[in-house]
């Protein structure tokens, strides 16, 4: 039995389909199927029922699941232990919200590169929370209090937001104002709730779950957008409205306790903490 076979077994269990597992792992459907067949052959068990609506664990597959999860936990623990033995060289993977990564971090990471020339950075721009326990990233920057008790979460900055628009919307009558809102794919987002209450029935002429799209729509004059100050200030044509603003959001630095012991990861973590102390992200 190979670890790779077990890894694919767990991914199909989580995704519930061959296609979903292939997308998640960045491989072809046939690769996923081959590993499942290999594991079933080595165990002499049928682990999945191949149904039109997806792949479901058989009773035998269900009985194997706890042991497979235990194997995964052990393998990932070994990988984290290995990273602690590495010197200040190799890769560090950082996950962060896309606009924060491109507008705030990237221009300021060259100094880190000069300080640690043998370290390579992998920068992952994503809104979702990377699974640090499964090694998708070494460090993550996330807005809002994390719900992951097994990770170290350090608050490192306050991010403030405001309403921004081009000049033509500055003096528009209250009832005639038009807005760039959040779509319904983000129902739990506090900013969406605040924005919906503020708009109070006025027209949302365009909605998006992409902050970059909202930013560009505001620059193009579609209407009024709720943007982080650090992003809006990249476009001089966007002017702040004299209006209420939502509460600030706390930015957290997340890492796994085992990975923190790795010098290369700790070097970037310390740099980020120091960097954000120098930044003023809560003023418009």
Divide the 284 residues of the chain into consecutive groups of 10 and give the mean pLDDT of each group. 87 90 87 91 90 89 90 78 63 91 92 90 79 72 81 91 93 88 78 90 91 95 95 94 89 83 87 91 71
**CATH number assigned to the domain comprising residue 50:** 1.10.10.10
166: domain CATH number is 3.40.190.10
261 and 239 part of one domain: no
Residue 252 covered by a domain: no
The whole-angstrom separation of Cα 76 and Cα 131 is 12
C-alpha distances (whole Å) from 283 to each of 17, 158, 216, 280 are 46, 10, 21, 6
State residue 73's pLDDT score: 83
| Residue 113 placed within a domain | yes
Please tell me the total count of domains within the chain: 3
Domain shared by 173 and 131, yes or no: no
The confidence score (pLDDT) of residue 157 equals 93
30: containing domain? 3-83
What token pair was written down for 83? 């990273």
Which of these three, 26, 61, 83, is where a domain ends?
83
Answer whether residue 55 is part of any domain. yes
Residues 246 and 194 sit within 8 Å (Cβ to Cβ)? yes
């Amino acid at each position: 039995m190979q670890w790779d076979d077990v890894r694919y077994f767990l991914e199909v269990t989580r995704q519930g389909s061959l296609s979903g597992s292939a997308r998640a792992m960045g491989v072809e459907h046939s690769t996923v199927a081959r590993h499942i067949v290999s594991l079933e052959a080595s165990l002499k068990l049928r682990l999945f029922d191949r149904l039109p609506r997806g792949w479901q664990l058989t009773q035998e597959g269900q009985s194997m699941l706890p042991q497979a999860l235990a194997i995964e936990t052990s393998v990932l623990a070994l990988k984290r232990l290995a990273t602690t033995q590495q010197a200040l060289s190799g890769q560090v993977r950082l996950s962060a919200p896309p606009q924060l990564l491109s507008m705030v971090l990237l221009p300021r990471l060259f100094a880190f590169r000069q300080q640690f020339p043998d370290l390579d950075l992998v920068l992952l721009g994503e809104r979702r929370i990377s699974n640090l326990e499964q090694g998708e990233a070494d460090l993550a920057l996330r807005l809002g209090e994390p719900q992951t008790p097994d990770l170290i979460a350090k608050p490192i900055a306050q991010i403030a937001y405001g309403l921004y628009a081009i000049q033509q919307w500055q003096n528009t009558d209250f009832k005639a104002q038009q807005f760039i809102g959040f779509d319904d794919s983000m129902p739990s987002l506090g900013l969406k709730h605040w924005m919906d209450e503020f708009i109070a029935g006025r027209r949302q002429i365009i909605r998006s779950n992409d902050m970059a799209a909202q930013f560009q729509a505001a620059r193009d004059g579609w209407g009024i957008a709720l943007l982080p100050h650090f992003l809006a200030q990249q476009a001089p044509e966007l002017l702040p409205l004299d209006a209420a603003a939502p509460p600030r959001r706390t930015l957290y630095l997340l890492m796994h306790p085992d990975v923190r012991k790795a010098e290369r990861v700790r070097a970037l973590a310390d740099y980020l903490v120091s960097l954000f102390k120098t930044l003023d992200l809560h003023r418009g």
